[in-house]
């Protein structure tokens, strides 16, 4: 199955592999699946960016034209993105989001792709001592990010 540029949710197998007790920065709520926009970063390496109702920081694609965004700060939250190599972690049951947020996502795929690649690449560069951001900026962007759990997938040694 081709998962590129789709709305998905993560399967329970993902949460069993990454239990909240050991991976506290991965979004998790009992009996609630997080819907994600999945994007291929590199060959067979995917990033799942969760849809969130309230995002106050700037490291996100913020919806402007959705009904939900009128009452909330809804967004695709880059700071809570997870890396997926094992596509069996992607649920076969359909992910459901508001139609207007779906449309806005699809209309802005290129912008979202550029922003998430920059976000992940900046993280990788920092860890490979090629970072162009300060420690303070690194902490602001990544201190609560699940990217810290995916160094193998991101080829960070």
Total of domains in the chain: 1
Q: Residues 69-128: pLDDT tens digits? A: 777 888 999 999 999 998 899 988 888 888 999 999 999 999 999 999 999 999 999 999
Specify the CATH number for the domain of residue 49: 3.10.129
Q: What is the DSSP string of 94-153?
A: PP---HHHHHHHHHTHHHHHHHHHHHHHHHHHHHTT---S-HHHHHHHHTT-GGGG-TTT
Q: Is residue 154 in a domain?
A: no
Q: What angle do CA 149, 151, 152 make, to 5 degrees?
A: 115
145: in domain: yes
74 within some domain: yes
Does 93 map to a domain? yes
In a domain, 61, yes or no: yes
Q: Is residue 72 domain-resident? A: yes
Residue 153: pLDDT over 50: yes
pTM: 0.91
What's the pLDDT score for residue 1?
A: 43
In a domain? residue 155: no
């Amino acid at each position: 199955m081709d998962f590129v540029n789709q709305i998905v949710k993560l399967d329970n197998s993902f949460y069993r592999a990454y239990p909240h007790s050991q991976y506290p920065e991965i979004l998790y709520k009992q009996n609630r699946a997080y819907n994600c926009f999945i994007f291929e970063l590199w060959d067979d390496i995917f990033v799942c960016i969760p849809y969130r109702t309230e995002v106050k920081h700037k490291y996100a694609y913020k919806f402007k034209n959705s009904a939900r965004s009128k009452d909330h700060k809804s967004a695709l939250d880059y700071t809570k993105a997870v890396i997926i190599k094992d596509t069996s972690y992607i649920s076969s049951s359909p992910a459901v989001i508001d139609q207007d947020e779906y449309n806005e996502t699809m209309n802005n795929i290129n912008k979202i792709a550029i922003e998430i690649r920059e976000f992940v690449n900046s993280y990788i560069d920092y860890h490979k001592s090629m970072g162009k951001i300060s420690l303070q900026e690194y902490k602001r962007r990544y201190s609560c990010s699940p990217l810290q759990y995916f160094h193998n997938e991101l080829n960070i040694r």
